[in-house]
Amino acid sequence: MTAVGLGAPRSDAEAKVRGLAMYGVDYREAGMLHARLLRSPVAAGRIIRLEVTEARRSPGVHAVVTAAEAPRHRNGLVLLDTPFFADDMVLYEGEPIAMVVADTSRQAEAAVETIVVEIEELEPVSDVAEALAPGARLLHPDLDSYRVIPGTGPWPKGGNCGGVLTSDPGGVDEAFETADIIVEDVYTVPRQYQAYLEPKSATASYDGWRWTLDVSHQFPYKARSRVAQALGVTDSRIRVVGHHIGGGFGARLDLGLEQFAAIGASLTGRTVQLVNDRVEDLVSCMSRENATIRVRSGVTRQGRIVARDFECLMDSGAYAGDTPYLTSIALLMAGSVYRVGPTRVTAKSVYTNTAPSGAFRGVSGTYLCFALERHTDRLAQAIGMDRREFRMRNLFEPGDSMLNGQTLEDAEILREAFERVEERAPWREAGKGPLRGVGLAAVIWLTNPLAGSATLGIQEDGSLGVSTAATENGSGAVTMGLRQIAAAEFGLGAEQVFVTSPDTDTQSYDAGSQGSRTTHVVGMAIKAAATQLKPRLFNIASGLLGALPDDLELGGGNVRVRDDPSRTVSLSEVARTALGVGGPLSSTGTYSVPLPKWDPDSAQGLLFPVFPVPTYHVHLAEVEVDPDEGSVRVTRYVVVQEVGRMINPDGVYGQIQGGVAQGMGYALWEGLESRDGRYTRRTLESYGLPLAVDIPDVEIIVLEHPCEAGPFGAKGVAEPPIVPVAAAIANAVSDATGADITTLPIDPEELLVALEKRQEG
Considering only residues 458 through 517, tell me which ones interact with other proteins, judged by CB under 8 A.
Answer: 473-476
Residues with Cβ within 8 Å of 737's Cβ and at least 6 positions away in sequence, in order, are 435, 437, 625, 751, 754, 755, 758
- Asked if 196 touches other proteins (CB under 8 A), the answer is yes
Site string for other proteins, 581-620 (x = CB under 8 A): ----------------------------------------
Question: How are strands ordered across the β-sheet holding 552-555?
Answer: 552-555, 558-561, 564-570
Q: Using CB under 8 A, which of 688, 702, 705, 709 touches other proteins?
A: 688
What Rg do the C-alpha atoms of the chain give, in angstroms?
27
Q: Which is nearer to other proteins, 2 or 657 (CB)?
A: 657
Q: Which is nearer to other proteins, 244 or 391 (CB)?
A: 244
Residue 402 C-beta: closest distance to other proteins, Å:
30
Q: Which is nearer to other proteins, 697 or 708 (CB)?
A: 697
Q: Using CB under 8 A, which of 631, 635, 704, 705 touches other proteins?
A: 631
- Asked if 198 touches other proteins (CB under 8 A), the answer is yes
Residue 287 C-beta: closest distance to other proteins, Å:
14
Q: Using CB under 8 A, which of 697, 708, 759, 761 touches other proteins?
A: 697
- Asked if 574 touches other proteins (CB under 8 A), the answer is no
Q: Using CB under 8 A, which of 2, 5, 23, 553 touches other proteins?
A: 23
The kind and range of the H/E element at 692 are none
- Asked if 60 touches other proteins (CB under 8 A), the answer is no
Interacting stretch for other proteins, rule CB under 8 A, among 223-231, 373-381, 497-505, 689-697? 689-697
Residue 68 C-beta: closest distance to other proteins, Å:
29
- From start to end of 430-563, where are the E strands? 436-445, 452-458, 464-467, 497-499, 552-555, 558-561
Q: Using CB under 8 A, which of 396, 681, 730, 739 touches other proteins?
A: 681
- Asked if 371 touches other proteins (CB under 8 A), the answer is no
Interacting stretch for other proteins, rule CB under 8 A, among 24-32, 300-308, 526-534, 729-737? 24-32
Q: Using CB under 8 A, which of 135, 749, 760, 761 touches other proteins?
A: 749
Q: Using CB under 8 A, which of 5, 16, 539, 544 touches other proteins?
A: 16
Q: How large is the angle between the packed helices 725-737 and 748-760, nearest 10 degrees?
A: 30
Q: Are 186 and 292 in contact (CB under 8 A)?
A: yes
Q: Which is nearer to other proteins, 34 or 520 (CB)?
A: 34
Residue 756 C-beta: closest distance to other proteins, Å:
9
Q: Are 420 and 624 in contact (CB under 8 A)?
A: no
- 520/712 Cα distance (integer angstroms): 9
Residue 738 C-beta: closest distance to other proteins, Å:
17
- CA–CA distance from 522 to each of 417, 655, 693 (Å)? 27, 18, 37
- CA–CA distance from 166 to each of 163, 305, 312, 345, 611 (Å)? 10, 21, 11, 6, 18
Report the site for other proteins in 259-298 (rule: CB under 8 A): 277-279
- Asked if 21 touches other proteins (CB under 8 A), the answer is yes
Separation of CA 568 from chain center: 46
Interacting stretch for other proteins, rule CB under 8 A, among 73-81, 130-138, 416-424, 693-701? 693-701
- CA–CA distance from 248 to each of 200, 219, 493, 503 (Å)? 9, 10, 29, 18
Interacting stretch for other proteins, rule CB under 8 A, among 418-426, 503-511, 541-549, 627-635? 627-635
Residue 669 C-beta: closest distance to other proteins, Å:
5
Site string for other proteins, 142-181 (x = CB under 8 A): ----------------------------------------
Residue 265, SS3?
helix
Residues with Cβ within 8 Å of 448's Cβ and at least 6 positions away in sequence, in order, are 511, 514, 515, 516, 517, 521, 612, 716, 719
Cα-based torsion angle of the residue sequence 747, 752, 755, 759 in order, rounded to the nearest 10 degrees = -160
Backbone φ, ψ for residue 226 (5° rounding): -75, -40
Residue 382, SS3?
helix
Query: Which amino acid, residue 229?
Result: Q
- Asked if 13 touches other proteins (CB under 8 A), the answer is yes
Q: Are 144 and 160 in contact (CB under 8 A)?
A: no
Q: Using CB under 8 A, which of 303, 324, 605, 658 touches other proteins?
A: 658
Q: Using CB under 8 A, which of 183, 438, 561, 661 touches other proteins?
A: 661
Residue 749 C-beta: closest distance to other proteins, Å:
4
User: Which pairing describes strands 96-102 and 33-39: parallel, antiparallel, or unpaired?
Assistant: antiparallel
